[in-house]
Amino acid sequence: MYARVTTYQADPSRLDEMEAKLDAIKGQVQAIAGIVNVYSVWRADGKGVVTAIYETQAAADAASEAVRTIWGGLMEFLQNTPSTETYDHVAHMNG
What's the pLDDT score for residue 12? 98
What's the pLDDT score for residue 77? 97
Could you tell me which of 77, 87, 69, 80 has the C-alpha nearest to residue 4?
87
Could you tell me which of 15, 33, 26 has the C-alpha nearest to residue 78?
15
Q: For residues 6 and 17, what is the distance between their CA atoms, to the nearest angstrom?
A: 20
Query: What domains can you pick out in the chain, each with its CATH number?
Result: 2-87 (3.30.70.100)
Computed on alpha carbons and rounded to an integer, the radius of gyration of the chain in Å comes to 13
For the chain, residues with pLDDT lower than 50 are none
What's the pLDDT score for residue 42? 98
pTM for the whole structure: 0.90
Q: What is the rounded end-to-end Cα distance, in angstroms, of the chain?
A: 16
